[in-house]
Chains A and B, each alone.
Chain A
Amino acid sequence: MNIDFTQADEAFRTEVKDFIAEKFPPQVRGKSRNEYGGRDDFLAWHRVLYNKGWVAPSWPKEYGGTGWNSTQKYIFGEECAAADTPGTLPFGLAMVGPVIYTYGNAEQKKEYLPKILSGESWWCQGYSEPGSGSDLASLKTTALREGDHYIVNGQKTWTTLAQYADWIFCLVRTDMKAKQQEGISFLLIDMKTPGVTVRPIITMDGAHEVNEVFLDNVKVPVKNLIGKENEGWTYAKFLLGHERAGIAGVARSKRGVERLKKIAAAEQDGGKSLLDGADFSRNIAELEIDLLALEFTELRTLARESKGGHGPEASILKIKGTDIQQRLTELTLEAIAYYGNPYRPFAHDKMTNEYVPGPDYSHGAGQNYFLTRRTTIYGGSSEIQRNIIAKMVLGL
C-alpha cells in the first residue's frame, strides 16, 4: 500500500498544470456558473479540453477517452479544481455517453458520441417526473409504438439546463402491463421535435437552471431506442452508478476549503482575523478532516473499481460528498456574516439596479448556500442512498 506519485505522475501533473495555465478561457475566468451569460460560456472549457483530446478521461480510449490510469485521472481532477476551471457538464459526457457506448448499436455510437465529445450536441436528462422522484420506476411518461416511431406523452421535471439542450435522454414506459421496472425503455429525443416544450423552474436562490419538459405527442424514430425495448431500467441503473462516482466532488471541495480559509483570514472579528479565532478555525478543521477521510474513501473505491468491482459503497461518496459541500457553503455564509444577505441578481431578473455590496467573495454566498441544499436531494437523495447501503451492503 502506498500513495506516492511516480516521477511519471509528477511529469504528468506539470503537463496538466501548464496546459491549464495556458488555455484557461478568459471569458469564464473568475466566474461562477451563476454568472455565465449563456450556452457559449458553459462550453468554453469543454472546447479547450476537446481540442486537446482530454474532454472525456473516463471514456474507453476507442471512443475518444484519454487512456489515463486512475492516478492520472485523479491528478487531472485535482489540478482542474486547484485552478478553478469550470466543470464539464455531466449529461453528455458522464451520463448518456457511457450508456451509448455500453448499450448502443454501432450506428448510434457513430451518430452521437463524436458530437458529445465536441460539444456540438447538448444533452439533458429526462428521468424525474412530478410523481416520480425517489421512486423513479413509477414513471408515467408513455411511448407507444406506431410503425417506425414511438409517440411519447408525459412530463419530465428538474431537467437541468434543458433550455440549452439539443437532445434529451428519457426513461419512458413502453409496456403498461409489465411490472414497474420491466416496462421501461431508454429513448433519445431531439428537443426540436414538435410537441417538446420547456418551462423554466426558478429555484429559491433565484437561478434558472432546472426546467419542466412537456412531451405532447412527440414522434420519435424507433432507431432512437437504446438497447432493447423494456430493458431501459438496466441502463438507468448503470447510469445512476456513473452519476454517483463523480458526485463526491472531493477535489472541488478541497479547493472550497482553501477559499473558505482565505475568506476567514480576510474577515475581521474583534480586531483579529476570523481564522485566528479558535471557534471558526475549529469548524474548518472538522470539515477538512471529514474531507480527508472522504478523499481516501474515494481512492479506495476507485482502486476497487479499477479491478472490476462496482459496489453500492459509491453511495457513501454521494452522502458524504454532498454533506461536505453543504457544510462548506454553510460555513462560508457564516464567515461572511451580514454580507451574505444581499441578493446577487441574475440576467433573467432584468433588474435596473445590479448593485451588490460587500467584498467580492461575499457576492452570492447566501444564494450559494440555499442552492447547495439540492445536492442531498438530486441524483438519489441521502435517504435513498442510505437505503441502498442498508439493503445492498449491510443486507438489512
Chain B
Amino acid sequence: MDFSFTEEQNLLRNSVQKFVQNDYGFEPRRAIIKSESGWKRDNWKKFAELGLLGAPFTEEQGGLGGGPIDTMIIMEEFGRGLVVEPYLGTVVLGGGFLRHGGSKAQQEKLIPEIIEGKRVLAFAFAEPQGRYNLADLTVTAKKSGAGYTLNGHKAVVIGAPWADTLIVTARTAGGQRDEKGVSVFVVDKKAKGVSCRDYPTVDGLRASEVTFENVALGADALVGQADDGLPLVERVVDEGIAALSAEAIGAMKVLNDATVEYCKTRKQFGVAIGKFQVLQHRMVDMFMHYEQSVSITYMVNLKLDENDTERKKAASAAKVQIGKAGRFIGQQAVQLHGGMGMTEELNIGHYFKRLTMIDTMFGNVDHHLKRYASLD
C-alpha cells in the first residue's frame, strides 16, 4: 500500500500550482468572471502548453497517458484557484465519452483538437423534469435515414457558451425514464436547429439553456451504442464525480486554511477569536470533514476502473461525503469570518458558492445516499 505520488505527478501538481499562483489570483479571477465572455482563452492555451488538456489521453492519441490520479491532481489544484475554464466539461467528461465510447473516427478527429486547445466541449444531460435521473429524458433523437433528428431542451448546460461541441444524451427508444433507449451524440453547436440562451451562474461559471429543433445528425454523431448508452453515461458521470471531488477538496483546503488564519488574527474581547474553545472545536470539525473528504477522493479515484457496481458505490460514497463536508466547511467558513465572510470582495463566499453548486452537480447528498443504498 502506498499513498505517495510519482515524480511525474509531483511535477504535474507543481506546474498547475504555479499557473494558479501566477495567473489565477483572486483579483485576476474576478476580472475573468466579470468579463463579457466569462473565461480566458489565453488560460486555455496555457493548459494546452502545459499538457493538461492531454492528461488522460494515451500517448498514441497525443496525450500524456495519465490516469484518474493525474486528473485528480489537476482538479484539486484548479479547486484551490476556483478555475472556471471548462476542464471538467471538455477533458474529463467530453474526453471521457470519446475515450470510452468514441469511434476511431471520432477519436482521431476530436481528441487532437481537444489536446491542442482548439475544441471545447460541454455535456448537455440535465432536463427541467429530470432532476438527477440521467435516464429521465424528453430530448429525443429519432431515426431518420442513416442518421437521427434531434429535438428537445437541455437545462443548465455548464460551459455551453464557451463550447464548440456538445455531448448530448437523448432518447432513441423506450419510455421517458427507461434505462434502455438512451443514446449519446456529439453535436456541433453551430449545427442548424441548435440554439443557446446563455447566462451566468452563481458560482462564477456560464451556462446555457440549449434547444434542439429538428437538428439533423449523421450516423457518425452517435457515441457508443445506440439505445444502450446509459452505462457509458454513468461511467463518465462517475468519473466526473471523482474529478469534482478533487476540485472540492482543493476548495475546502483554502477555506479551512483561511479560516484558521483569520481566527488567529481577528481580535474581539481583547483576544484572538481562535482562543475561544467553541470556535476551536468548530475548526477541528472543519478539519476532520476535510481529511475525510481527501480520503474518499483518493478512494474513488483509485476505484474508477473497477467493475460497475464497485465504481458506482465509490462515486456515490464520495459525492455524499463531499456534499456534507462542502456544506459544513462552506457555511462555517462564512460564519467564522462574520460579516466579512458574506462579502463579494473576500474570497470566502466564492469558495462557499462553488462548493454548494458542486453538491448539486450530478446529484446531491440525498440522491447519492439512495443510489448507494440501492447498490448493496
Residue of A whose beta carbon sits closest to that of B157: A338
Whether A393 is near chain B, meaning CB under 8 Å from some CB there, is no
With beta carbons under 8 angstroms apart, the residue of B130, B198, B356, B366 that contacts A279 is B366
Residues 199-231 of chain B: 1 if any A CB is under 8 Å from the residue's CB, otherwise 0? 111110001010000000000000000000000
- How many residues of chain B have a CB within 8 Å of chain A? 48
A377-B338 in contact (CB<8A): yes
Q: Which of the segments A4-12, A263-271, A296-304 contacts the partner chain?
A: A263-271
Complex alpha-carbon distance, A145 and B247, angstroms = 57
Greatest chain A CB density within 10 A among B129, B199, B364 is at B199
Whether B177 is near chain A, meaning CB under 8 Å from some CB there, is yes
Whether A343 is near chain B, meaning CB under 8 Å from some CB there, is yes
Question: Quick one: which of B324-358 are within 8 Å of A by CB?
Answer: 331, 334-335, 338-339, 341-345, 349-350, 352-353, 356-357
Residue of A whose beta carbon sits closest to that of B208: A357
> Given A204-B344, A341-B201, A357-B155: A373 and B334 within 8 A (CB)?
yes
Question: Quick one: which of A351-380 are within 8 Å of B by CB?
Answer: 353, 355-359, 366-367, 369-371, 373-374, 376-378
A203-B201 in contact (CB<8A): no
Residue of B whose beta carbon sits closest to that of A268: B129
Q: Is the interface of B mostly helix, strand, loop or mixed?
A: mixed
Complex alpha-carbon distance, A337 and B209, angstroms = 15
> Given A203-B344, A342-B199: A128 and B360 within 8 A (CB)?
no
Whether A201 is near chain B, meaning CB under 8 Å from some CB there, is yes
A270-B177 in contact (CB<8A): yes
Whether B279 is near chain A, meaning CB under 8 Å from some CB there, is yes
With beta carbons under 8 angstroms apart, the residue of A138, A270, A280, A355 that contacts B366 is A280
Query: Which residues of B are found within 8 Å of A157, using beta-carbon distances?
Result: 339
Whether A249 is near chain B, meaning CB under 8 Å from some CB there, is no
Complex alpha-carbon distance, A377 and B200, angstroms = 28
Q: Which of the segments B131-139, B237-245, B311-319 contacts the partner chain?
A: B131-139
Tell me the smallest distance from the CB of B237 to a CB of chain A, in Å. 14
Query: Which residues of B are found within 8 Å of A270, using beta-carbon distances?
Result: 131, 133, 136, 177
Query: Which residues of A are found within 8 Å of B335, using beta-carbon distances?
Result: 373, 376-377, 381-382
Query: Which residues of B are found within 8 Å of A353, using beta-carbon distances?
Result: 198-199
Tell me the smallest distance from the CB of B309 to a CB of chain A, in Å. 21
Whether A321 is near chain B, meaning CB under 8 Å from some CB there, is no
Whether B268 is near chain A, meaning CB under 8 Å from some CB there, is yes
A338-B353 in contact (CB<8A): no
Tell me the smallest distance from the CB of A64 to a CB of chain B, in Å. 33
> Given A157-B339, A270-B177, A378-B339: A338 and B133 within 8 A (CB)?
no
Whether B370 is near chain A, meaning CB under 8 Å from some CB there, is yes
B156-A342 in contact (CB<8A): yes
Greatest chain A CB density within 10 A among B126, B176, B197, B334 is at B334
The range of chain A's interface size is 35 or more
With beta carbons under 8 angstroms apart, the residue of B132, B197, B338, B342 that contacts A134 is B338
Residue of B whose beta carbon sits closest to that of A207: B344
Residue of A whose beta carbon sits closest to that of B203: A341
Residue of B whose beta carbon sits closest to that of A134: B268
Complex alpha-carbon distance, A382 and B338, angstroms = 11
B360-A338 in contact (CB<8A): yes
Residues 232-256 of chain B: 1 if any A CB is under 8 Å from the residue's CB, otherwise 0? 0000000000000000000000000
A133-B339 in contact (CB<8A): yes
> Given A353-B198, A370-B349: A338 and B343 within 8 A (CB)?
no
Whether B128 is near chain A, meaning CB under 8 Å from some CB there, is yes
Whether B105 is near chain A, meaning CB under 8 Å from some CB there, is no
With beta carbons under 8 angstroms apart, the residue of B131, B268, B278 that contacts A268 is B131
With beta carbons under 8 angstroms apart, the residue of A202, A269, A343 that contacts B201 is A343
Residues 119-145 of chain A: 1 if any B CB is under 8 Å from the residue's CB, otherwise 0? 000000000100111110010000000
Complex alpha-carbon distance, A341 and B155, angstroms = 11
With beta carbons under 8 angstroms apart, the residue of A132, A358, A370, A386 that contacts B202 is A370
B133-A383 in contact (CB<8A): no
Residue of B whose beta carbon sits closest to that of A336: B360
B342-A377 in contact (CB<8A): yes
A138-B155 in contact (CB<8A): no
Tell me the smallest distance from the CB of B305 to a CB of chain A, in Å. 29
Tell me the smallest distance from the CB of B301 to a CB of chain A, in Å. 25
B364-A337 in contact (CB<8A): yes
Query: Which residues of A are found within 8 Å of B350, using beta-carbon distances?
Result: 204
Complex alpha-carbon distance, A204 and B333, angstroms = 13
Whether A339 is near chain B, meaning CB under 8 Å from some CB there, is yes
Whether A158 is near chain B, meaning CB under 8 Å from some CB there, is yes
Whether A340 is near chain B, meaning CB under 8 Å from some CB there, is yes
Query: Which residues of A are found within 8 Å of B202, using beta-carbon distances?
Result: 205, 340-343, 366-367, 370
Tell me the smallest distance from the CB of B359 to a CB of chain A, in Å. 9
Whether B3 is near chain A, meaning CB under 8 Å from some CB there, is no
Tell me the smallest distance from the CB of B340 to a CB of chain A, in Å. 9
Residues 165-182 of chain B: 1 if any A CB is under 8 Å from the residue's CB, otherwise 0? 000000000001100000
Enumerate 16 A-B pairs (CB-CB under 8 Å) in ascending A order. A134-B269, A134-B273, A201-B343, A204-B350, A270-B177, A271-B136, A339-B128, A341-B360, A343-B199, A355-B198, A366-B357, A369-B356, A370-B356, A373-B334, A377-B342, A381-B338
- Residues on B lying within 8 angstroms of A by beta carbon are 126, 128-133, 136, 155-156, 176-177, 197-203, 207, 209, 267-269, 273, 276, 278-279, 331, 334-335, 338-339, 341-345, 349-350, 352-353, 356-357, 360, 364, 366, 370
Q: Which 8 A-B pairs have the closest CB atoms?
A: A204-B349, A135-B268, A202-B344, A338-B156, A366-B202, A268-B129, A343-B200, A341-B201
15 further interface pairs, Cβ-Cβ under 8 Å (given A133-B338, A355-B199, A366-B357): A135-B269, A157-B339, A201-B343, A201-B345, A268-B131, A338-B155, A338-B156, A340-B360, A341-B156, A345-B200, A353-B198, A357-B197, A366-B202, A374-B339, A383-B276
